[in-house]
Amino acid sequence: MGARLLLALLWVLHWLPLAVQAWLGRGLGRVLHATAGARRRIAVRNLELCFPDKTNAQRELLVRENFLWLGRSILERGLLWYASPARLKRLIHVEGDVQLAERIDQPVMWLVPHFMALDVAGVSVLLFQKRKGISIYQAQSNAVMDAAIRRGRLRLGNAEIFPRDDSAKALLRAIRRGDAFFNLPDMDFGERDAAFVPFFGVPTATLLAPSRLARALSMTVQPVVAETLPGGQGYRVRFLAPWTSFPSDDALADTAAMNRWIETEIRANPAQYLWVHKRFKTRPAGAPPIY
C-alpha cells in the first residue's frame, strides 16, 4: 500500500509548476537529512574520503545541500514518469551533439555517471534523438514500485531495459543491431569483472566492462552529464564530444581515465552527485571496511 500511495502522490504533484515541485522537493530533502541517518552517514564518509582538504563544517554543508537535491530528484521522478513529452522538452535543455548515435554507423555507448538528474539524461535520449536506447536495470524488491519504474522508463517508447541478473547475451545482440547503450559506470557491484582503480585517490572496485565492451564491439563512447537547475529552470543535459582514445587495448588504464573524468565532473558540481551510495563498499583483500 505504501508504494501505491507514493506513486499516487507523485502523479498528483507532477501537475504542479516545476518551481513548486522544486520547493517541495527541497523540503523533502531537509526531512531526509534529519531522518535518514544511515544514508547521511554514508554521504559524510564519502565526502571525508573524496574531499579531505575540506573542513568538517564545509563537508556538512555539502551534505545538507546534497540532500536537498536528493529530495528534488525523488519528488520530480513523477514529472519524468507522467508529464507529456512536450512539457519535458520545454524543461530539458540539451547541449552538444545529442544526435550523434543516430548519425554514425558504429554503435554508441552513452557513459553517464550518477548525478541526481541521471534519469533526466535517460529521458533526453528518448526525446531528442531517434536511435533506440537500451540500458541495464536493477530490479526492485517491491513489485509495485518495480513495475512503476519500468513503466516510467519505457513509456516514451524506442527503449529497452535488461535486468542486471540476466545473461548479457540479449544486451550484446541489441548493441550489435545498432541500439545505443546507456551505461552507468560508477556503482559498486563487487569484485566480479572489476578492478580496484583510484577514485579520488581511494582504490575503488570499478567495472572494466565499459572499456572491454566498447573495444569488443567497436563502440563510440560519448560521455553524458545531467544537472538539475535551480528552482523552475529545468534541467541541463550535456552530450560531450566522443572520446578518441577510449577504448584502448588497456582496459585498466581506460578505467582509470574514466574515473579521473568522473572526478572532474564531480568537482564541478559536487552537491549533485549521488553521495548516499556506498561507492567504496568493496575493499581490497585485507583492507579494513570503510563504512
**What percent of the chain stands above pLDDT 90?**
90
1-41 pLDDT per residue, tens: 588 999 999 999 999 999 999 999 999 999 999 999 999 99
Residue with cell 548515435: 101
So where are the chain's domains?
2-272
Q: Please, which pLDDT band fits residue 168 given cuts at 50, 70 and 90?
A: confident
Angle, vertex CA 160, rays to CA 157 and CA 166, nearest 5? 160
What values do phi and psi take at 152, rounded to 5?
-65, -40
All 3 cell numbers of residue 194? 572489476
- Shortest CA distance to 24 belongs to which of 36, 275, 123, 16? 16
Contact status, residue 127 vs residue 83, Cβ threshold 8 Å: no
Angle, vertex CA 261, rays to CA 255 and CA 266, nearest 5? 125
User: What is the C-alpha separation between 25 and 18, in angstroms, rounded?
Assistant: 10
Rg (CA), the chain: 19
User: What is the C-alpha separation between 82 and 88, in angstroms, rounded?
Assistant: 10
Contact status, residue 280 vs residue 186, Cβ threshold 8 Å: no
Q: pTM for this structure?
A: 0.94
User: What is the C-alpha separation between 51 and 129, in angstroms, rounded?
Assistant: 37
110-164 pLDDT per residue, tens: 999 999 999 999 999 999 999 999 999 888 889 998 898 899 999 999 999 988 8
